[in-house]
Amino acid sequence: MNRTRLCALAQITDGDSAGFQVADQGVRHDLIVVRRGGAAFVYRNSCPHIGAPLDFAPGRFLNLDKTHILCSTHGAMFRIEDGLCISGPCLGDSLERVAATVEDEAVFVDISSTAGS
C-alpha cells in the first residue's frame, strides 16, 4: 500500500479526463484519470496493444461523446468503468487499473496496486 494524493477532484472537469505524473521511488508513473461526479477512475497511460500513451493531446483521453477512453494511436476504445477494450486491435484486453479513492474532495491513488511497479 502506497497511498498518494493525486489531485483535488475539482482539477478534473466532471465527465472529462486528465493526465497526471506521479513519482514513486524514482520511477515515474503516467496516469489517466476520468471523473464521473464524485468518482474517479484511474489507469496507467499505456495502451495494452503496444504500450503507447493514449492521449492525442495532453490530458485528452476520451472520445468525442466522452463515453469511452480512446487510444489515439490505433483507435482502441475502452470502457471508463473497468478499462475493458470493446473495439480496436486489443479487443478484450484491459487498461491497467490503479486503485483510487476520493476523500475530502481529493483523489488518492495506490501506485503499488499496479503491476508495473
User: Of 46-54, 62-70, 93-101, 106-114, which part binds ligand FES (CB under 6 A)?
Assistant: 46-54
Q: Is 47 in the site for ligand FES (CB under 6 A)?
A: yes
d(CA 52, CA 55): 9
Give the binding range for ligand FES (CB under 6 A) out of 14-22, 23-31, 42-50, 55-63. Answer: 42-50
Within positions 61 to 100, which residues make up the interface with ligand FES, using CB under 6 A? 71, 73-74, 76, 88-90
Task: Give 104's contacts (C-beta < 8 A, 6+ positions apart).
Answer: none
Q: Which residues pair with 22 in a beta bridge?
A: 29
